[in-house]
Amino acid sequence: MSIMIQRRRILGALGAAPLAAATLPAWAQGYPARPIRIVVPLPPGSPPDVLARLVAERLQDAWKQPVIVDNRPGATGMIGMDAVAKAVPDGYTVGVMFLTHTVLPALFGKVPYDTSADFVPIANLVWLYNVLVVPPSVPARSAKELVELARAQPGKLSYGSGGNGSPAHLIGESFRQLAKVDMLHVPFKGPSEAVQALLGGYVSAMFATTSVAVPLVNAGKLRAMAVTSPARLAALPSVPTMAESGIPGFDLKEWEGIVAPAGTPRDIIAKWNEELTRIMQLPQIREKLSELGMEAAPPNSPDQFSTLMRAELQRWTQFVKTTGLKTD
């Protein structure tokens, strides 16, 4: 199946998913009556995992049922999301979906599930920004100096990521294109492994989420070059934005939300959306997210989350097509 045909299929399915759910019978009365599973397609300690555990704790309090976080890492998140896609659509299994999953079809051509037809969007929960970081062994003291260094040594510097199609890969490639530098992409088996390689000086740079970058920067183990947010971050007030560093138009942010298997009854989806919206508005949750470098997304409906996913799919499919991005 060509990328264009698969893209059309995904776009059509994304728009149809909420309508399909609407035709299902109402059976949310008494839900939940047993433990719930939140599948995280990345290892423990990753941003989606941290978010899932924050949400799980509050859901347990509200619904009086155990909420289990089930980490299923591997294959750039495809293993975990495949488990969600194949789960019984009864509301007892959901998954954390993020930016990566809107680029995988274009990047790989084929994934074990249909990115949108096999899932029903529930709600986008957070926005995340990234920090361009380097180990002390890299002589650059700013993003501008890093660009100059990379231009002086084409192909010699590298940037790490948690795998092909991971947010760090996409953001790193965006940096490479916008800054017009030749840097080698080095994919690892997850973000934790990539960070360890960066700390060891095996790669020259990496775009890490603020929750990962800030503690390491404050400890002096990494040096922050710039942030991908449109304004400076409260957690790193002295670190300039990409625009301030001479790379305009580079204000990229990640998103993370909750999806359920296709066929999950609409009334259960609505119940999830209502509870997640309540949780994300709690002052203590918003404060914790801020400490982690995450920004609570404004309240949004399943249809609005579906619209976001469609837009992201279009954006990153076009990015892959325009840049000729390939797996390494």
Distance CA 226, CA 238 (A): 9
Query: Which of 30, 26, 94, 89 lies closest to 63 in space, CA to CA?
Result: 30
| Residue 237 forms part of a structural domain | no
**Range 134-144 average pLDDT:** 96
| Residue 247 forms part of a structural domain | no
Q: Higher-confidence residue: 328 or 135?
A: 135
pLDDT tens digits for 31-73? 999 999 999 999 898 889 999 999 999 999 999 999 999 999 9
Residues 6+ apart with CB under 8 A from 306: 14, 15, 17, 18, 116, 121
Identify the pLDDT of residue 98: 93
Strand ranges, E, within 54-204: 67-71, 93-98, 119-128, 130-134, 158-161, 184-187
| Residue 16 forms part of a structural domain | yes
pLDDT tens digits for 196-206? 999 999 999 99
| Residue 117 forms part of a structural domain | yes
In this structure, what CATH number is given to the domain that contains residue 80?
Answer: 3.40.190.150
Identify the pLDDT of residue 293: 78
Identify the pLDDT of residue 28: 60
In this structure, what CATH number is given to the domain that contains residue 172?
Answer: 3.40.190.10
Per-residue pLDDT band at 328 (split at 50, 70, 90) = low
Of 193, 227, 261, which marks where a domain is finished?
227
| Residue 20 forms part of a structural domain | yes
pLDDT above 60 for 22: no
pLDDT above 60 for 260: yes
Is the domain of 149 the same as that of 76?
A: no
Per-residue pLDDT band at 105 (split at 50, 70, 90) = confident
Is the domain of 264 the same as that of 179?
A: no
Pair of tokens at residue 219:
């400890």
Of 9-13, 144-148, 234-238, 252-256, where does the model show the most confidence? Answer: 144-148
Query: Which of 302, 254, 246 lies closest to 276 in space, CA to CA?
Result: 302
**Which of 64-73, 156-165, 315-324 is predicted with the least confidence, judged by mean pLDDT?**
315-324
CB atoms within 10 A of CB 237: 7
**Range 23-30 average pLDDT:** 56
Identify the pLDDT of residue 249: 81
Per-residue pLDDT band at 74 (split at 50, 70, 90) = confident
| Residue 234 forms part of a structural domain | no
| Residue 236 forms part of a structural domain | no
Identify the pLDDT of residue 89: 98
Q: Tell me if the bond preceding 32 is cis, omega within 30° of 0.
A: yes
Is the domain of 173 the same as that of 147?
A: yes
Query: Which of 123, 66, 119 lies closest to 92 in space, CA to CA?
Result: 66
Distance CA 3, CA 5 (A): 6
Structural domain including 165 reads 130-227
Pair of tokens at residue 156:
């010699």
Is the domain of 115 the same as that of 149?
A: no
Is the domain of 13 the same as that of 107?
A: yes
The tally of domains found in the chain comes to 2
Is the domain of 93 the same as that of 182?
A: no
Q: Name 93's bridge partners.
A: 37
Query: Which of 302, 306, 269 lies closest to 24 in space, CA to CA?
Result: 269
Is the domain of 25 the same as that of 102?
A: yes
pLDDT tens digits for 240-249? 999 999 998 8
pLDDT above 80 for 111: yes
**Which of 27-31, 93-97, 318-322 is predicted with the least confidence, judged by mean pLDDT?**
27-31
pLDDT above 50 for 30: yes
Average pLDDT of the residues of the chain:
89
3-state secondary structure of 89: coil
Pairing of strands 93-98, 130-134: unpaired
**Range 208-213 average pLDDT:** 90
**Range 278-307 average pLDDT:** 93
Is the domain of 43 the same as that of 191?
A: no
